C-alpha cells in the first residue's frame, strides 16, 4: 500500500484544515517545497498535494509552487484542488506532475472528465469527498444529492483508474478512518482506491492495508507528530 504524505497549500503555505473548514487553518511551513523535500528525505515514495485555494475558487493560483515541488523532488507527486480545465491539466502533466486529481468537475462536467481520461488515461484520478455517503463539492462547502457509490460506478464506466475517497467527517479529526465505508468503496470497484481522512495510528494503516487499499493519505497526524513517518515506512 502506498503511503502518501499530504501537502495542503493555501496562500502559498503548507497548512491543514479541520474537516475542510477554511476558518480552521493551521500553518505548518511557509515553504511547501521544503516540506516536500523533507517527506522525500524521510522515505516517501509518492506525495499528495492539494491546492486549497484552487479547490475553493477554481483558480489554480498555487500552480507555480506545485511545479517547483515536482521539479525539486525525484519522487512522483499527484495534485488536486480546483482542476477544472484541460489547460491546467496540460500545465501540470507537462511540468513534472505524475497524476492529476479531478474533484468537483468530475461531477459537474462529465464531458470534461471524459476528455481528460481519453487524453491522459491513468494520469487522471478522481477525488470523491463524501459526507454521510453523499458527494461534497466546491472545496467541501456544498453537499450534492449524488450518492458516492453511484458516482463510483459511473467513473469506472468512463475509464478512470484511480480514486481518492475521503470521509470528510473524519478528516483532520485524528479519530481513525471510516473503515466500513472505505471497505465498501474498495469492494464496489476494480479501480485503485486511495483512502483519505482520519488516519492517526500505525494500527489505522495496518487496518487499511488489510482491506487491500491501493494507498492512503496521511496529513494532520504526521504534522502534529502523532505518527512518525520513518517508522511507518520501516513497517
Supply the residues annotated as catalytic. 8, 129
Contact present, 71 and 32 (Cβ < 8 Å): no
Task: Tell me which residue of 108, 181, 103, 87 sits closest to 139, measured CA to CA.
Answer: 103
Q: Is 189 helix (H, G, I), strand (E, B) or coil?
A: coil
Contact present, 191 and 155 (Cβ < 8 Å): yes
The C-alpha cell of 99 is what?
Answer: 497524476
E strands, the chain, in order:
2-10, 13-18, 21-29, 47-51, 77-80, 99-102, 124-131, 134-137, 142-147, 162-167, 192-196, 215-218
Measured between alpha carbons, how far is residue 201 from residues 57, 206, 219 in Å?
33, 9, 12
Residue labelled with grid coordinates 524521510: 42
Contact present, 235 and 32 (Cβ < 8 Å): no
Amino acid at each position: 500500500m502506498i503511503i502518501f504524505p499530504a501537502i495542503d497549500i493555501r496562500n502559498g503555505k503548507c497548512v491543514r484544515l479541520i474537516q475542510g473548514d477554511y476558518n480552521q487553518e493551521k500553518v505548518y511551513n511557509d515553504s511547501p517545497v521544503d516540506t516536500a523535500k523533507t517527506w522525500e528525505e524521510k522515505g516517501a515514495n509518492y506525495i499528495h498535494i492539494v491546492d486549497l485555494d484552487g479547490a475553493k475558487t477554481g483558480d489554480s493560483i498555487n500552480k507555480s509552487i506545485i511545479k517547483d515541488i515536482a521539479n525539486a523532488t525525484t519522487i512522483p507527486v499527484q495534485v488536486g484542488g480546483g482542476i477544472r480545465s484541460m489547460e491546467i491539466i496540460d500545465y501540470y502533466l507537462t511540468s513534472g506532475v505524475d497524476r492529476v486529481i479531478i474533484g468537483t468537475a468530475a461531477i459537474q462536467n462529465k464531458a470534461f472528465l471524459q476528455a481528460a481520461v481519453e487524453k491522459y488515461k491513468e494520469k487522471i484520478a478522481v477525488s470523491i469527498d463524501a459526507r454521510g455517503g453523499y458527494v461534497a463539492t466546491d472545496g467541501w462547502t456544498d453537499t450534492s444529492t449524488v450518492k458516492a457509490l453511484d458516482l463510483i460506478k459511473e467513473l469506472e464506466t468512463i475509464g478512470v483508474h484511480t480514486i481518492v475517497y475521503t470521509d470528510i467527517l473524519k478528516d483532520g479529526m485524528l479519530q481513525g478512518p471510516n473503515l466500513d465505508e472505505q471497505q465498501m468503496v474498495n469492494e464496489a470497484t476494480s479501480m485503485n482506491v486511495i483512502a483519505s481522512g482520519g488516519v492517526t495510528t500505525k494500527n489505522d494503516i495496518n487496518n487499511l492495508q488489510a482491506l487491500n487499499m491501493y494507498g492512503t493519505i496521511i496529513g494532520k497526524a504526521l504534522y502534529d507528530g502523532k505518527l512518525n513517518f520513518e517508522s511507518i515506512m520501516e513497517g
